Amino acid sequence: MTVAELLARIIAAYPGATQDAMKTFKPVFYARLQRHEGEALEVAATAVLGSFRPKFGQPFPIPADFEAHLATGKLDRGNNLGPSIRGWLKDRDERRRRIHADWVNGQGAKIKANRPHAVYSACTLMAIELAATCADRLVLTAEQIALCEDQAISRARVEMFGPPPKTEETWRDQRAQVREAWMANPHPVSVRFRSAA
């Protein structure tokens, strides 16, 4: 079916499709429906003309009525396939929480019992981060725990002594003092030292 044939059908079927009205709509029909000429336009015409009821504000079908039955030309991104993004995000969040809770009750409890609180806190942050991408079970490696400990010492050194010292020897001494403070009180609320250097 061509747009010209469609217009002829509309004029024949609907008394409201006067010559004056069609002068306005004819270019719109061509602009919006010409690329669909053929079987697709025939199917859309059958659907619209078979169900359209004229009313005062719209005495005959307009291009938008036909476009609802035609391919849009937009890429189908599979919006109707698979779970919704909200469902997927909810499932991912529940899985992350479960994996992290299992870590807290397992390896996390062991780290908490055997390491200073600052190290446990750093490991917890890493576990939260890794749980988001972990498939099933999370276990921090010895290297990851050592990295957490190093980060915790660095943070505590800055909290206790402020900006980095001028010498590496002083820096190492400050880190050693952090370890000593942890041995004396592995679960401090907040400890502050004043640097002599």
Q: Give the pTM.
A: 0.52
- Residue positions counted in the chain: 197
pLDDT tens for each residue of the chain, 197 residues long: 998 899 888 888 888 888 888 888 888 888 888 888 889 889 888 888 888 888 888 888 888 888 888 876 554 555 556 667 888 888 889 999 999 999 999 999 999 999 999 999 999 999 999 998 887 889 999 999 999 999 999 999 999 999 989 999 999 999 999 999 998 886 665 444 444 44
Tokens of 24: 């306005």
Give the distance, in angstroms, between the CA of residue 112 and the centroid of all CA atoms in the same chain.
33
Contact 125, 147 (CB under 8 A): no
